[in-house]
Amino acid sequence: MRYAVSHLTTVKYAAPVQLAQFAVRLRPAAWPGQTVSDYALSVDPAPAAISDGEGGYHVNEAKFMLREPIAQLRIESRFQVERQPLPHAIGGATGPGLTDLRERAMARPDLSPLSPASYIFASPIAQPEHDIALWASGFLGETMPVMEAGRALMEAIYRQFQYDGDATVADTPPIEAFHQRRGVCQDFTHIMIIAARAHGIPAAYVSGYLRTLPPPGQDRLIGADAMHAWVNLWCGEELGWIGFDPTNDRLADTDHIFIGMGRDYSDVAPLDGTFRGSAQQSMFFSVDVAPLD
Amino acid sequence: MPSDPQVEAMTGPRTWLDDYPAGATSGDLFGDAPAPVAGKWKAMACALAAIAEGDPATLQDLTARHIADLGLTFRITGDDDERTWPLTPMPLIIGAGEWGQIERGLIQRAALLERLAEDIYGPQRLVAEGHLPAAVIAGSPYFARKMLGRGPKSGHFIHVYAADLARGPQGQWRVLQDRVRLATGIGYALENRLAMSRTTDALLSDSHVRRLADFYGTIREGIATDCRRELPRIALLTPGRFNQTYAEQAHMARYLGLPLVEGRDLSVIDNRLFIGTIAGPKRVDALWRWVNTNALDPLSFDAKSQLGVANLFDAWAAGGLEIVNWPGVEVLESAAFSAFMPRLCRVLMGEAPILPTIATWWCGQAAEADTVQRRLDTLALLPAFGEPVDGLPDRQPVAGASLDGARRSALLEAIRRRPMDYCAQEIVHLSTTPAVIEGDVVARPFTIRVFVARTPDGQWAVMPGGFARLASSDELPTSLMGEGDLSADVWVVDDGPTDFQSPGRLTHEPPVTRGGGILASQAADNLFWFGRYNERAEITVRIVRSILGSSIEVDGSRVHDGEVRRRLVDLLVQWGAINPTTAGEPLAVVGGRALAENLLPGGVAALLRMRHQVGLGLRERFARDFWRMVSLPMPVIDMQRPQNLVSTAKWLIEHFSALAGLASENMVRGSAWRFLEIGRRIERAVATCRIANHLSQPQVSPESLGMLLDLCDSQIIYRSRYLTGPMRNPVYDLVLLDPDNPRSLAFQVAEIAAHLGVLPAIRDDHLPERPLRAARTIMGRLETAIAQELDAASLQQIEAQLLDLSDAISLRYFLQFDRKGEDARPSLLE
């Protein structure tokens, strides 16, 4: 599938702010089965320079600074992407059992941004939670193959949790969403990451997009009108990282467009900013992922 | 314990240590000391006994008094208020021989840590070659992936290193923990030494104790050498005045002469770091950070942190900033890392560790996890990376033997699920040392924190001494000081005089300078508000005193007019010093409430509290005497006894006079002093307008004019100038317009204009800036006015102009940001 993606962010300040500085994480990082072309980031008012770099994990990061006072900012990210279907073999693969998987992850002499060791420990938002670990124990076993474990967690969240955009806000701790059994893709992703890590499975937060309108005859996917999030689990050396989308109870496939991967939301947040001043800010997003084929 | 000091004097050199119950089984620092060092112990105990006239309790009191003089305080996690520093007067004495081994071990270890940091953030050879599991690095919450491949230009990851050492029963020293993140204790060690030298006078040099001062100079020079500029500006980055060890940070900054800055004082422009000062941005070459890596830059690390500086990362990555210690080195501190130190020492240094590490097993490896399970009853379990984990929610080590059935199996189950989160350590028994506690000399287990700094030539220097912590139990410390712990000075002694004890081997003479250094915008802001709160408190106390009727008598007759006093009560309500409901109470009650009021922003107790809060952020700028006065507790207010209220008010007014005297006689006439003055004078000017106006309603009377003279401390001048009782125009001229009366409105405004006129300019066009123009406008008005013209409307206008002036000063000189919570400045003037 080929898509044209556009993502517009508008930030408004109640009063002009000075020395506004931003980090933007919207340019897709390299990912198997996905080819990106014609990436363009435009910012209005235009900064003197935009510096492109990499975040700490598997994510691209652009930074810029606006020296003149601003009352409003418009950031537009556009690109085209070709998404290959998942290799057929993955559908039937099982991967190693959980104890085996954990030992393999721990044994790899690898600290790269895609190394399993980097995603097996607690992270700023995905802190260990006894209740989530206990809940996950109900679906997992020591010898259970990792693909089966991933599917079990994904399905449990999909069945037991209510998608509810009003139940949580961006910085609601995952444990709160867990206890009220409600939330959005970001909450479900964090809960699944905490559950997987509690049982020694390397688990990462993926930020990305879903196609906006479904193919004819299919339901619209949940979370298609904004940025989406799902979980990458490390499923052993052969399978590598596999995407599990607990919001839609399916593996990340041709409808999922990969932007970046980190330990949790904080590593891949699409926009971080600071400024001098004391103005209230409000933010508006619009996302469109349109098939080109 | 001495029996009777007189008997002691007769029987000769008996000391407190003669009957000291050195634990025969556990080892004791004094008990184990070789003869020459034991001699020093005894001489020290003799000298202390002489100072204390034989009574250990006296010695404790004496030390406590020196501690109070030094203003030494600390907080334990969860504390709202600062605590007094618990120093026990008897030092630990370590002989040069025993110390030499420690010193060599620490230098080896510092070099090892430096090489580890180089490898982890560089080639990662240790991981690739299998000497170190990737997870031991990735598991640390302090591992900063963004720092990979970004080493310091100087090549020095570590400048300051601290270690906790334990002495075992056989006298063997071991490293409990390496600290490269924060050298907490480094300032307290210095303060302990200062307090000791005050208490014991010449004892330190008589005992041939090695001096500490040179070590602190080394830290500074070592950092300066790595900066790429002559006379570099090095600042100490603090998390702020509510941090647990803020007092220590402020002491270090003051002792080393470094500006103490918070993240919001700083900004990064074109990859260089600047501090916002009243004279515009000034370049900073190096930061000694007391802030975690994760909090240093909200755009590169934790986006929620308010402690850091946006894009600070770019400044150090581009080589424009030295940062001490280099971001990310904290990864070396974890318990999991300790497990690998012996092996890594052999791999990187080609030799065995001189100082062994406390034996540690990391459960992330199958064989080690097995060992831990088998030997659980002889080991202590702890989180591998310092963060709470399942079964160990408070991060504290737990002795395996102490775990009961249910907790034991839950913890074992948790370890089975995530073995990599857990470490086990041998249980260490500590040597004891003699300590003076509650009038007795008793044996207490101890650990010491020692410090290592990089010298200007890139080598390592070990502080000859350290910070001893005397635990209330045999448990290992997890923080600098815990509940019930005591601290003690550590003396490293030579047999006779050596170079180590002589002062000042300074490398070169610094160029001569004057003035008070740069003044950060935030410090200026704090000084300004310190002045305002202080002045407002003083005026409020003066009003209370007048209400209570103990004012200076006018021509032998008291102010009897109840109406005038009621006007003053009304003013107290307006200023938020008392609740409107209190206004109808008897005058004594009103006065007492205004003094004791701590919730409303205008109460005297509340104003003094806010003054103290603001002052905390200025502590390193104030003389110790000044700060001690500011820290004095508010006197207790006894509502039942008006006569006591009068004396309390008097005491407070004397307190304000003493502070004003200290500021005027001891503060350098630099920008800092000017902002303190400007704050005071603005507040006094506004209050004078307000009081004059308020007392003229509904009409002026001799009593109200008398009161005005009283509150403006101008009775005496008035009487020397005029033969009549108070009359409107002469009084108004004296308290509002007379430029020679130091209490008059015109005098305040002229002073403000004079201060503003000599503050540094940002622009070079030599035009007066807005605050100065605003001040001169008011001054012109007062210079040209005559008393007859000053009515209620014009006084109100002048008051509004003064408030605009205050805003103009704030906009021009201070940082503009949202103040929240404790930082909010309640508006004094509505």
Q: B325 preceded by cis ω (within 30°)?
A: yes
Q: Do A56 and B298 touch (CB under 8 A)?
A: no
* Span B292-314, average pLDDT: 92
**pLDDT at position B508 over 70:** no
Please report the domains of chain B, with CATH numbers, ordered by start residue. 92-211+330-334+430-495 (no CATH), 360-426 (3.30.1490), 521-823 (no CATH)
Q: Do A272 and B144 touch (CB under 8 A)?
A: no
Q: Do A118 and B389 touch (CB under 8 A)?
A: no
**pLDDT at position B429 over 90:** no
Q: B698 preceded by cis ω (within 30°)?
A: yes
Distance, CA of A22 to CA of A8 (rounded, Å): 15
Residue B128 has its nearest CB partner, among A109, A274, A277, at A109
Contact A65, A14 (CB under 8 A): no
Dihedral sign for Cα B659, B665, B671, B674, please.
positive
| Shortest distance, CA B156 to any CA of chain A (angstroms) | 22
pLDDT tens-digit series, residues B728-744:
999 999 999 999 999 99
Lowest average pLDDT, out of B297-301, B554-558, B567-571, B780-784, goes to B554-558
Q: A96 preceded by cis ω (within 30°)?
A: no
Q: Is A56 touching B (CB cutoff 8 A)?
A: yes
Give per-10-residue mean pLDDT for chain A (293 aa). 93 88 96 95 94 94 92 95 87 92 95 96 95 95 95 97 92 95 96 97 97 77 82 96 96 94 96 82 89 83
- Which CATH fold topology does A2-83+269-291 show? Immunoglobulin-like (2.60.40)
- Give B553's pLDDT tier (boundaries 50, 70, 90): very low
Domain boundaries, chain A: 2-83+269-291, 88-268
Angle made by CA atoms B549, B552, B557, in degrees to the nearest 5? 75
Q: Do B146 and A274 touch (CB under 8 A)?
A: no
Q: Where are the beta strands (DSSP E) in B421-563?
A: 422-426, 432-437, 440-454, 460-462, 467-470, 486-493
Q: Do A118 and B144 touch (CB under 8 A)?
A: no
ipTM over 0.90? The verdict is yes
Q: Higher-confidence residue: B231 or B340?
A: B340
Q: Higher-confidence residue: A88 or B375?
A: B375
- Give B478's pLDDT tier (boundaries 50, 70, 90): low
Contact B245, B292 (CB under 8 A): no
* In chain B, % of residues over pLDDT 90: 59
Cβ burial, residue A101 (10 Å; 0-12/13-18/19+): buried
Q: Is A277 touching B (CB cutoff 8 A)?
A: yes
Q: Do B417 and A110 touch (CB under 8 A)?
A: no
| Shortest distance, CA B369 to any CA of chain A (angstroms) | 12
For B302, nearest residue in chain A (alpha carbons): A266
Q: Do A109 and B127 touch (CB under 8 A)?
A: yes
Amino acid at A11: V
| Shortest distance, CA A28 to any CA of chain B (angstroms) | 19
Q: Do B127 and A128 touch (CB under 8 A)?
A: no
A and B: number of Cβ contacts within 8 A: 103
* Span B702-712, average pLDDT: 92
Distances (CA, A) of B82 to B89, B244, B247, B248, B470: 21, 8, 9, 12, 20
- Which CATH fold topology does A88-268 show? C8orf32 fold (3.10.620)
**Of A116, A268, A120, nearest in space to B384 by CA:** A120
pLDDT tens-digit series, residues A12-68:
998 888 889 999 999 999 999 999 999 999 999 999 999 999 999 999 999 999 988
Distance, CA of B657 to CA of A272 (rounded, Å): 50
Q: Is B371 touching A (CB cutoff 8 A)?
A: no
- Give B497's pLDDT tier (boundaries 50, 70, 90): confident
Distance, CA of B289 to CA of B307 (rounded, Å): 11
| Shortest distance, CA A269 to any CA of chain B (angstroms) | 9
| Contacts (Cβ under 8 Å, ≥6 apart) of B696 | B704, B792
Per-residue model confidence (pLDDT) at position B637: 84
Distance separating the N- and C-terminal Cα atoms of chain B: 64
| Shortest distance, CA B2 to any CA of chain A (angstroms) | 56
Q: Is A15 touching B (CB cutoff 8 A)?
A: no
**pLDDT at position B506 over 50:** no
| Shortest distance, CA B194 to any CA of chain A (angstroms) | 41
Residue A111 has its nearest CB partner, among B124, B303, B420, at B124
Query: pTM, whole model, 2 decimals?
Result: 0.87
Q: Do A121 and B139 touch (CB under 8 A)?
A: yes
- Give B507's pLDDT tier (boundaries 50, 70, 90): low
pLDDT tens-digit series, residues B742-781:
999 999 999 999 999 999 888 788 889 999 999 999 999 9
